[in-house]
């Protein structure tokens, strides 16, 4: 019987091999599930927006809850003037949310468990937030690295610390999501492996013994669902906080 490692679920496999000028741009399982996430998001939200019934159905209620949830997040962290950034924050939230939730579907692929994906998304947010700050404030944007009220003798210490903490934002943002999703899926795979090993190795007694790790797996799946929602929230709310810093500086 073939033995599968718990990390096999994270392997990126080319579905349509393609190279241009020696650069591998193959369509992979990760690309496929990203496309599924995009198509599913647009389809569900589009269908909900088309209905607009006085007595909303389940799909419309779900879409309105997502809209109000992200809208409230923006109002609470940026203020009313942050409404113009709603499409940006909502898109980030949906990308992470769909990646996390689809990853819980059996035989799927969790693209948010790859640092390449979360890193590029975090870098994109970092660049966009920085550009917004520079366009809005010009060179005054760099006052962000000098909090008001800092004594002059502390400036050489505080400014480098502020610059480093600002530049490290994409790293912390990407690693937090990638590490949480990878760790959770590894634990799920390990406990599922325990169940299979007990059933196949212990025969009839293994059926009963295999229920123990299976019960743990059920609890972990419920916990992973909570983590999937929480990580999408954390990613979106940190995006709001970064936007607030760029808009208001301090």
Residues 6+ apart with CB under 8 A from 223: 184
Predicted confidence (pLDDT) per residue in 219-228, tens digit: 778 888 898 9
List Cα–Cα distances, 95 to 37, 91, 235, in angstroms: 7, 6, 10
pLDDT for position 49: 78
Give the residue with greater pLDDT, 122 vs 54: 122
* pLDDT(124) > 90: yes
pLDDT tier for residue 12 given thresholds of 50, 70 and 90: confident
- pLDDT-above-70 percentage for the chain: 85
Contact (Cβ atoms closer than 8 angstroms) between residue 220 and residue 228: no
Higher confidence at residue 162 or residue 10? 162
- Higher-pLDDT residue of 20 and 209 is 20
The three-state (H, E, C) secondary structure of the chain, written as one string: CCCCCHHHHHCCCEEECCEECCEECCEEHHHHHHHHHHHHHHHHHHHHHHHCCCCCCHHHHHHHHHHHHHHHHHHHHCCHHHHHHHHHHHHHHHHHHHHHHHCCCCCCCCHHHCHHHHHHHHHHHHHHHHHHHHHHHHHHHHHHHCCCCCCHHHHHHHHHHHHHHHHCHHHHHHHHHHHHHHHHHHHHHHHHHHHHHHHHHHCHHHHHHCHHHHHHHHHHHHHHHHHHHHHHHHHHHHHHHHHHHHHHCC
pLDDT of the residue at 247: 87
Q: How confident is the model at residue 25 (pLDDT cuts 50, 70, 90)?
A: confident
Please give the pLDDT value at position 237. Answer: 94
Query: Six-digit token pair at 113?
Result: 């468990």
Confidence (pLDDT) at 1: 46
pLDDT by residue (tens digit) across 102-123?
988 888 899 999 899 999 999 9
Does the pLDDT at position 2 exceed 60? Answer: no
Q: What is the pLDDT of residue 97?
A: 94
Query: Hey, where are the domains in the chain?
Result: 6-248
* 74-113 pLDDT, tens digit each: 999 888 888 889 999 999 999 999 999 998 888 889 999 9
């Amino acid at each position: 019987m073939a033995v599968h490692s718990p990390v096999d679920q994270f392997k990126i496999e080319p579905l349509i091999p393609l190279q241009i000028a020696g650069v591998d741009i193959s369509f992979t399982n990760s690309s496929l599930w990203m496309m599924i996430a995009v198509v599913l998001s647009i389809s569900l939200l589009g269908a909900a927006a088309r209905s607009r019934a006085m007595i909303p159905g389940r799909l419309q209620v779900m879409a309105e809850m997502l809209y109000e949830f992200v809208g409230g997040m923006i109002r609470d962290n940026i203020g009313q003037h942050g409404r113009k950034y709603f499409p940006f924050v909502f898109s980030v939230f949906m990308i992470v949310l769909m990646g996390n939730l689809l990853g819980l579907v059996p035989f799927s692929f969790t693209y948010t468990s790859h640092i390449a994906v979360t890193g590029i998304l975090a870098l994109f947010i970092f660049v966009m937030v920085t550009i917004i700050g520079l366009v809005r404030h010009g060179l005054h944007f760099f006052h962000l690295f000098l909090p008001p009220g800092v004594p002059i003798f502390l400036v050489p210490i505080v400014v480098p610390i502020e610059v480093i903490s600002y530049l490290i934002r994409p790293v912390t943002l990407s690693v937090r999501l990638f590490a949480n999703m990878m760790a959770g899926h590894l634990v799920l795979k390990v406990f599922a492996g325990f169940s299979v090993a007990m059933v196949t190795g212990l025969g009839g007694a293994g059926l009963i013994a295999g229920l123990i790790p299976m019960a743990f797996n059920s609890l972990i799946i419920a916990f992973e669902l909570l983590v999937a929602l929480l990580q999408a929230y954390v990613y979106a709310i940190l995006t709001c906080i970064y936007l607030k810093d760029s808009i208001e500086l301090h």
